[in-house]
Amino acid sequence: MAISNDGRQFLNSILKLADSPEAGVARTGMKTTNVAGYPVLLGWGRWGGCEPNASGNIKAFLFLPYLQSGPMPLQKYNGVSAVETPLDMVMSEVPNPYNCKVTVTPALNVSRLIEGEYYHFILAMRPAAVGGGNNPTPYWDGYLKAVGASPNDVFKEYFSLFNVTKSQWVKMKSLNPLEQYEDDEPDSDVAGAQ
């Protein structure tokens, strides 16, 4: 029994309704690796204000320093900095020049921040992408965790956590001197090849 074109289109429309978005992404060839958690990043930039989104979350607009290309070194061949500043971004007169839009952590008070001023930030961020089939639009999914005018105030807790973690690691190594830790010993295959 032959199926007519109308029948094929009808079956195709039924299958499209049953198709899950994950299967559609996998079929188009987009490969993704989910990042465990949100890495914490320190930075500075221009505050672009904030607004509530449709879900009622407050979204902040940040103008952060950036490189034109990921592989670009921090300094160009002639010694000039390759980092583009937020001021360069604003002066370019590009519409919507912010390069980071993040959710403000509910406990964080951003009402005292002045739009257009520069602040230090702690961000919890991970890469994401939305739609587009073979050409998804990448963006950063993230949260503003701390903000302030002084790096000492903003980064104080973050660096104290580093000191605690480092002292715990030293204590662990001293209590178990016979155990080999990956960070201390070279890979046996690499050492043998040298």
What is the spatial distance between Cα 77 and Cα 80, in angstroms, rounded to a whole number?
Answer: 7
Is there a contact between 146 and 122 (Cβ–Cβ < 8 Å)? Answer: yes
Higher pLDDT pick, 41 / 32:
41
Domain ranges of the chain: 20-149, 151-181
Q: What is the token pair recorded at 160?
A: 């104290």
**Residue 131, phi-psi category: left (phi > 0), alpha (psi -120 to 50), beta (remainder):** left
Q: Which CATH superfamily hosts domain 20-149?
A: Nucleic acid-binding proteins (2.40.50.140)
Q: What is the pLDDT of residues 37-86, one digit of tens each?
A: 889 999 999 999 999 989 889 999 998 888 877 788 888 888 888 888 88
Residue 143 confidence class, pLDDT cut points 50, 70, 90: very high
φ, ψ dihedrals at 165, nearest 5°? -65, -45
Least confident of 14-18, 34-38, 118-122: 14-18
- Burial of 86 by CB count in 10 Å (0-12 exposed, 13-18 middle, 19+ buried)? buried
